[in-house]
Each structure stands twice: as structure tokens, then as C-alpha cells.
A and B are shown apart, each in its own frame.
Chain A
């Protein structure tokens, strides 16, 4: 089942895009605790996240995250718990990812994100 952490690592694989930023739309989402909260692991994870994209995706599944990351937040337990929830507990079952630059759409079906491009654009 694909979670927001995994979705946050993805980009559009078309050769003609520079950033390939993806926007999420969902039609079926499941929320259930999957892994134990680990503050150190999250702090370690923070620098590799594309924050703006995560904020936008979190909004789609109904979670509002602060627009800017700062030092206080990094040590804030309540914030880290909310982050853990949005990264790991929210599972997207059905939906799609859309590339803002090329308009390419990647389907998410039954919890599997399909990142393949049609052969005409490979």
C-alpha cells in the first residue's frame, strides 16, 4: 500500500520535464497505524523530504502541515507525531499522480502506484 513517504520520493519520469513535480488526487484512502513512532528516524528523514510537495499531498488527504520547516518544529514532539501519521499511516488505495509540467498522469490502483510511461513518450 503506497504511503505519502513513498509518494514524496517520486517524480515524473518523462525526459522532457525538469522537476517532474507530482500532484496527488485520491478517491480511496485508508488510515491505519502501520509502524511505531520513532522521533529520531523522522528527524533523520526530514532533510530528504520535498516539503512543499508533502504539504500539498497532506492537504489532499485532509492533514494541514506547516508551510515552512524550522528548527523549533524539528524538535517538536506533537509535530513529529503528526508527521509520522501523515507519512506512514495514510495509505492511498485509489487515485492518481499528475505531473504539473507535462500533464502526464500516473494511476494509483489497489494501493500500487503505476509509474510506467506509455511507450510513445519513453
Chain B
């Protein structure tokens, strides 16, 4: 905490004397990763919305076809630097933002525009340290080429202070963008941008801080930190948001939500998962003398809590990062509303984020038993574990949508994962009368299957008429058209062979 405060002080001291923007357009640089590139705009839109901006008026979205494998830049119009920082610091998939001083078909035109821009002199003081980066996407620029580019910008960046490559007060950057993905050697860039870096992602650090390799307590279905964080952003989780995950498991999604400032409630049916497992001495964090130390835990992590030495529970994962502990209930999501007083839970949440069990890696269970039920004798009741039975995927999805539709505030968002084939269309995604589909984007798993991130917003108040048993039964039987189409596309394991008689 002290470090963070110090860092903020340093940044404040470094900030240029005037904070008002000299230009209102910004060049956002996305993180370059094949496995998240389809989520870029989904996350950006969610962040813009949660900052109170309308994405459509902020940037021109490239077509879906162009978005895949496209240059990792987008030009954004933001009404104020404050809002821009709010968006960029919370982003997982945006690295930083450049305040655009000049743009042109070549460096000459770009530099001339930047040089002509008014109000830039405040950044060129003798005391102000600076650096000028040159970057290009798709081509490598050797040092000589970079130097040649820099020299063209002498008139635009009239810096008088000293150069500092690390920790400079003001960071300038020149960016070359090419039209083709792999331009020929010596090809001219399609566009050049020049400007000042005004915001960088803070949340991106969480991807390595919450890395599963360092996580104390993992289950077979723990979701990787990056995707969990993207989901949390997609659902609009930020400081103080109440967040629900009805299929919490080891809490990998709630950890991400808590790290972004959410207040978390999680539920799961599996007592064993929630209450964790005993750990061997080897893993307990207390090394025997003489034993080789394993990889040192990162300095960002808290020292091992006394409660987590012998047994790891869902709470260990929160204590490890110094996050507020979530509220955890053991309950059956197929009977979620039986356990709550209606008015207390309806409209109580800003976000619902979940990776429901589909039986791909871990089978879904709900309470109940097929066949005869034996009463439990009183003396065994304390130790008795209620029976569970398989939980059909259609039911899991129905229940998740219903939970989100009832528990969310109006305007609250649901983000969840759906494993399906690559050709899933928005029409295939299960509907709920109170929820509107916002986005549905894939992460490729194989040539056939993908993990789709579905984002829905609660568009209107929930009403009991929306989701009658008849509607549900229809979905379950596959009579409902969207679900029938989805069933063909869901990446589900083959049903077990019928038992031999």
C-alpha cells in the first residue's frame, strides 16, 4: 500500500503542469495475444459504458472480419483525459493510450501536424525528462531506421530536458501502421501517428499477480486469471460493485472480481470444493531445512496465512492476494431462490459473472436423488451429505439466466462462458425475456470448438410471467428453437453408455 501511495505521488509530481488535453483523440494499443484478440472490443465497450460513454460515438469499430488478426490499434475519441484514464487503467486488453498530436500518410506530414499543434510547449521544459519511442506493427525497425524516424520529429518534439529511457516524465511515441499484416521489406507505412503516452493499464498487472501457477488452491476447472479478469470487466465490475457467481467452485472468477474492487457473493453445491483440501508438508509453504526452495512466491503476494497452512479453502485464494473475503454459501443453484427472501436478493447485484459447469471438465450436480430416498436418522444428520444427481446443461443455463435476470439491477450485466462450436451465432445463444444480448465472442480452443464469452444486460425488470415452468420445460425439451440449435453446437462430452441390464 505504501509503495502504491509513493508511486502515485511520483506520478503526480511527474505529471505535466497542464493536464488538459492538447488533442481529444487517442491511439489505444491493445495487448497482442491470439487467444484474447476477439475480446478486445467487447472489453473496451464495457469499460466505455461503465465510464458513462457511448462506445459508438467514441470510435469506429472495424468489421468483425477485419477485427481478427488486425492491427492492435484503435483511434478513440474521449471527451476528457480523466474518462480516458478511467477506461485505460482498468483495461486488461489495452496496454496504453497515446494522445494523438499528429497523424499523416508519412512521417513528414505527421511531424508537421504535430509541430503545428498548439499548447504542446508545456511539455518541453528544461526540467522535464523525456523519451521518444518508435514502434511499428508487423515489421521490425532496426536501430538505424528508428533513429532516422526520430530525426524527422525534431520539430514536433522540441524537448529541452534530458533523455531518460526508463521512468521519463513524458513519453512520446511514433507509431507506424501498415495495411497488410506482413508488409514487404521496405514497404511504406499506411499511416503514421505521433503523440504523448497519457495512460497505461494498471489492471494488466493483475494478470501476472493472479497467475494460477501461484494460486494456493486450485480445482480442475479453475479459470485462468486473464480470462476471469476480462469477464469481470465485461460484466462491469469496478470499485464497490456487488458481484455474484452462483457456480463459484474454487473462486477463480470471484478472485478476479474482488481484485477489480467487487464485493463478492459466491455459492456452490460442492462442500468439498468450498472447504478445500489438506496440503502436504511439501506444499504447505514451510520448507524443511535443507530442502531446495521451490520457485519463490512473487513479492506481490501476502505471506501464507496461518489458516491456510494445513488446509486450503476458497478463502485462501483471497487472503493470498490481500483481497476482501467473499461471502460464500453452500447451496444448490437449481433451487437458488428457495433459500432467499424474494425482496432481499432481487435487484441486489450489479454484476453476475460465472463459468457454469457444463460437464466438460467437471460434471455438474444439483440436489436430489433419482429413485427411493431413505430418511436420514437423527444421529447421523450432522454428518450427512445430501445426495446430488447430474445437472443437465439446459437446466444449468436456464438457472443461470434466471438467477441473473432476478438478481441483477436494471442495467446490470451478466458475463458467462459457453463452450460451443466455432460457428455459434448470436441467434443460438439462450435468451431470457429480461436480458438483452450485448456481445458474444469466441476464444478458439481447437479447429472445431471455441469458448464463447457471452455478455448480457438486464434490459427490463424481471417478472414472474417471464419465466414460467412451461417456458422452462420447453427449453429443456429442446422445443425452444434457440436452445435446440445451441444443443447441436455445444461442446459437451458424449453421454455415458447406457448401463447393461
Q: Is A49 located at the chain interface by the 8 A CB criterion?
A: yes
Chain A residues at the B interface, C-beta cutoff of 8 Å: 1-3, 5-6, 8-11, 13, 15, 34-35, 38, 41, 48-50, 91, 107, 109-120, 122
Further 19 A-B residue pairs, CB within 8 A, beyond A9-B340, A48-B343, A113-B328: A1-B325, A1-B328, A2-B329, A3-B327, A6-B265, A13-B331, A13-B338, A35-B324, A50-B344, A110-B275, A111-B315, A112-B330, A114-B330, A115-B331, A116-B332, A119-B373, A120-B374, A120-B375, A122-B335
| Complex alpha-carbon distance, A2 and B345, angstroms | 15
B329 touches A113 (CB 8 A): yes
Q: Is B185 located at the chain interface by the 8 A CB criterion?
A: no
- Tell me which residues across on chain A come within 8 A of B119, comparing CB atoms: none
Chain B residues at the A interface, C-beta cutoff of 8 Å: 240, 263, 265, 269, 271, 274-275, 313, 315, 324-325, 327-332, 335, 338-341, 343-345, 348, 367-369, 373-376, 381-382, 384, 386-387
- Assuming A2-B329, A3-B327, A111-B325, is B384 touching A118 (CB within 8 A)? yes
- Tell me which residues across on chain B come within 8 A of A111, comparing CB atoms: 315, 325, 328
**Distance in Å: Cβ of B299 to nearest Cβ of chain A:** 25
Choose among A8, A10, A13, A116 the residue with the greatest number of B CB atoms under 10 Å from its CB.
Answer: A116
* CB-CB nearest in chain A for B341: A11
- Tell me which residues across on chain B come within 8 A of A6, comparing CB atoms: 265, 327, 329
| Complex alpha-carbon distance, A112 and B330, angstroms | 7
A49 touches B344 (CB 8 A): yes
A11 touches B339 (CB 8 A): yes
B344 touches A112 (CB 8 A): no
A10 touches B343 (CB 8 A): no
| Complex alpha-carbon distance, A109 and B328, angstroms | 11
- Tell me which residues across on chain A come within 8 A of B367, comparing CB atoms: 116-117, 119, 122
- Assuming A11-B340, A48-B348, is B384 touching A115 (CB within 8 A)? no
| Complex alpha-carbon distance, A41 and B350, angstroms | 13
- Tell me which residues across on chain B come within 8 A of A118, comparing CB atoms: 376, 381, 384, 386
* CB-CB nearest in chain A for B340: A9
- Assuming A111-B315, A115-B331, is B386 touching A9 (CB within 8 A)? no
- Tell me which residues across on chain A come within 8 A of B376, comparing CB atoms: 118-120
Sorted nearest first, the 3 A-B pairs with minimum C-beta distance are: A13-B338, A9-B344, A115-B331
A10 touches B315 (CB 8 A): no
A112 touches B274 (CB 8 A): yes
**Distance in Å: Cβ of A97 to nearest Cβ of chain B:** 10
Partner of A110, one of B313, B329, B335: B313
| Complex alpha-carbon distance, A115 and B65, angstroms | 48
**Distance in Å: Cβ of A28 to nearest Cβ of chain B:** 12
B344 touches A1 (CB 8 A): no
| Complex alpha-carbon distance, A57 and B391, angstroms | 35
- Tell me which residues across on chain B come within 8 A of A41, comparing CB atoms: 240
* CB-CB nearest in chain A for B376: A118
| Complex alpha-carbon distance, A10 and B384, angstroms | 21
| Complex alpha-carbon distance, A38 and B268, angstroms | 29
B373 touches A112 (CB 8 A): no
- Assuming A1-B315, A6-B265, A13-B338, is B344 touching A116 (CB within 8 A)? no
B328 touches A115 (CB 8 A): no
- Assuming A11-B341, A111-B315, is B386 touching A119 (CB within 8 A)? yes
- Tell me which residues across on chain B come within 8 A of A117, comparing CB atoms: 367, 386
A116 touches B330 (CB 8 A): yes
Partner of B324, one of A34, A48, A49, A110: A34
B375 touches A48 (CB 8 A): no
- Tell me which residues across on chain B come within 8 A of A50, comparing CB atoms: 341, 344
| Complex alpha-carbon distance, A45 and B105, angstroms | 56
| Complex alpha-carbon distance, A28 and B186, angstroms | 72
| Complex alpha-carbon distance, A109 and B374, angstroms | 25
CB<8 Å pairs between A and B, sample of 6: A13-B338, A49-B344, A91-B325, A109-B275, A111-B315, A111-B328
| Complex alpha-carbon distance, A15 and B330, angstroms | 18
- Assuming A6-B265, A48-B344, is B381 touching A112 (CB within 8 A)? no
- Tell me which residues across on chain B come within 8 A of A1, comparing CB atoms: 315, 325, 327-328
A116 touches B387 (CB 8 A): no
**Distance in Å: Cβ of B452 to nearest Cβ of chain A:** 31
- Tell me which residues across on chain B come within 8 A of A15, comparing CB atoms: 338
